[in-house]
A and B are shown apart, each in its own frame.
Chain A
Amino acid sequence: MNSYKTFLTVTLLLSTMLVEAQVNNANSKNALWMSYRDAYKTMLWFEKYGKPKNLIQNHLQFVVAENMQFFENQEVTLISKNTRISLSMDEMGRIALPLLKSAYDENAELNINLSMDQKPKQVTFLRSISIVPRLDNTYDNSELYLACEQALQFQQFLGTESFKNKRCAGVRFVFSSADNAVSVKTKSGNNEEKTLSIALSFNNLTGNIVKLKAVNFSFHQTTEKVRIVTRSTPIAIMPIIE
């Protein structure tokens, strides 16, 4: 019995040392790793969702766990035995996660390369639902409302508490802080044109201040048909649900 116990202890110790060696290797490059399978799981409910979702899209968004601020402008790489794909991240910390069976089967890793002085406490990822931007930068208020409804229905399907008993109030066009050509105009039925005001920052769902340019369009301003035109393409069009 004694030798059995010793054998077990030694095996466990050796295994732990082996694993530690692997861990230290990754750390020396100052990178953050995450399980691709766990990220895949987060994204898959959107794929499986059967109700209308043609006007909305799903991104994987990285946030700092401590304060839920976007963890943006990072190099993200999908790495596995036979795969190495660079994924571009936008200014809201979002990536379009490719859903690859081969990467899943190889138990791939999502690697975030940190600069040497970066030491965030903890990074986690979330699902981010937004409205699909149009190539011609022209939108109808009724279409935007429909898109917002699709987003709200999806969140309610997931059972997300913060979306229970809420309604669509409007949309927020988010632009890069470096974009100097931001302009959002509305044109109503009687050809009346208005320029919407640009905010230099906005509060996200967790109450953090996000320093990106934002233009809000509220659905309650008018019930008639309104056309919205943006001069440049937004980073994201976020549904505003209250």
Chain B
Amino acid sequence: MLKPILLISITVFLSTVNSAHAQTPSRNLMPDGSHDMYIGLGIIHRPKYEGAQTSKTTALPALQIQWSNGIFVAGMSAGMQLSESPQIEYGPLLTIAPGRTDSGIANSVDIVNGQNGYASINTPQFEKRANKLTGLDVLQTRLLVGGFLHKQLTENIQNTNIVTYGSGNQHDGAKLVSDLRYRIKNFAQHHAITLGTGVTVVNQANNQTYFGISQQESDRTGRKSYITSGGIKDIHADINWNWSFSTSYLLTSKINFTYLTGSASKSPLVEGRSNVTISTALAYRF
């Protein structure tokens, strides 16, 4: 009796998010012993898995907590801000990478204020139609380790870098997401807009996990095997818009365009190389 309830709660609130970029909030300076916290709820419309042509709309909880000692929780990541300098941010990072079944990727929790990325949507118990993922290995949830290094290049432009390791059933997938973020200054009172663009670079193991068909999977399903190589997995661009209604409430919205490249884009699992993800959430700051 308890098990399904527990499972649903976890799916809704924490879930495991697959393929997500890890997430780090913008640095926050505060009194010792204080924290800055956001909690929110919204909706997200995104592809079922990277490269899928069908999309889903689902609930998206948002969570972000920053403590004065530098430790933060942001969406599906947790880490620590170590830098003492205004120009550089860096530190270790842990991220939950959700599993994937033949229905696609599980739900996720989003970040509110900072560098972000997210995964796709899934309701495993309802979607059992045969699709390109049918018969492939189920990908287990993984805890990824890594770090971040962000450098302020000019007053409005920041270079962000997030590296993670440990995805895939063999725990050996690695990924680097490197972006340039441009903050539009003084767009309008209480509106903050950031434009970003960047690349995702992965190793062979990561690409094989999400875009490959192994020999065993090929024998099992009768499909042709597809062995990937590492390299640039995608190029992407996004627009982040935060609208603060008061010191306590804000609407955080994002649109992300991803274009698969290299070995990933040639995968038989990919129905379309371009993916669009849109989300909006109402958050409460306290």
Residues of chain A having any CB pair with chain B under 8 Å: 1, 4-5, 8, 11-12, 15-16, 19-20, 22-23, 26, 32-33, 35-37, 40-41, 44-45, 48, 65, 99, 101, 104-105, 107-109, 122-124, 157-161
Q: Of A12, A123, A159, which is within 8 A of B282 by CB?
A: A12
In this assembly, does B42 line the interface, its C-beta being within 8 Å of a C-beta of chain A?
yes
CB pair B36–A122 under 8 Å, yes or no, is no
CA distance A5 to B58 in the complex (A): 8
Given A48-B29, A105-B34, A161-B155, A20 contacting B41 (CB threshold 8 A): no
CB pair B86–A122 under 8 Å, yes or no, is no
CB pair B282–A15 under 8 Å, yes or no, is yes
CB pair A159–B87 under 8 Å, yes or no, is yes
Collect the chain A residues with CB atoms within 8 Å of residue B87's CB: 158-159
Q: Of B33, B154, B247, which is within 8 A of A109 by CB?
A: B247
Collect the chain B residues with CB atoms within 8 Å of residue A124's CB: 186
In this assembly, does B249 line the interface, its C-beta being within 8 Å of a C-beta of chain A?
yes
Chain A to chain B: the 10 pairs with minimum beta-carbon distance, closest first: A65-B186, A44-B29, A101-B31, A159-B87, A19-B245, A122-B189, A41-B29, A19-B249, A109-B247, A35-B247
Chain B 242-258 interface 0/1 with A at a Cβ cutoff of 8 Å (1 = within): 00111111010000000
In this assembly, does B43 line the interface, its C-beta being within 8 Å of a C-beta of chain A?
yes
B113 to chain A, nearest CB (A): 11
CB-nearest residue of chain B to A100: B31
20 cross-chain CB contacts under 8 A: A12-B282, A15-B282, A19-B245, A19-B246, A32-B189, A37-B28, A37-B30, A40-B29, A41-B29, A41-B30, A45-B29, A48-B29, A99-B31, A105-B31, A109-B246, A122-B189, A123-B189, A158-B86, A159-B152, A160-B155
Collect the chain B residues with CB atoms within 8 Å of residue A33's CB: 246-247
Chain B 70-108 interface 0/1 with A at a Cβ cutoff of 8 Å (1 = within): 000000000000001111000000000000000000000
CB pair A37–B31 under 8 Å, yes or no, is no
Collect the chain B residues with CB atoms within 8 Å of residue A4's CB: 59
Chain B 219-245 interface 0/1 with A at a Cβ cutoff of 8 Å (1 = within): 000000000000000000000000011
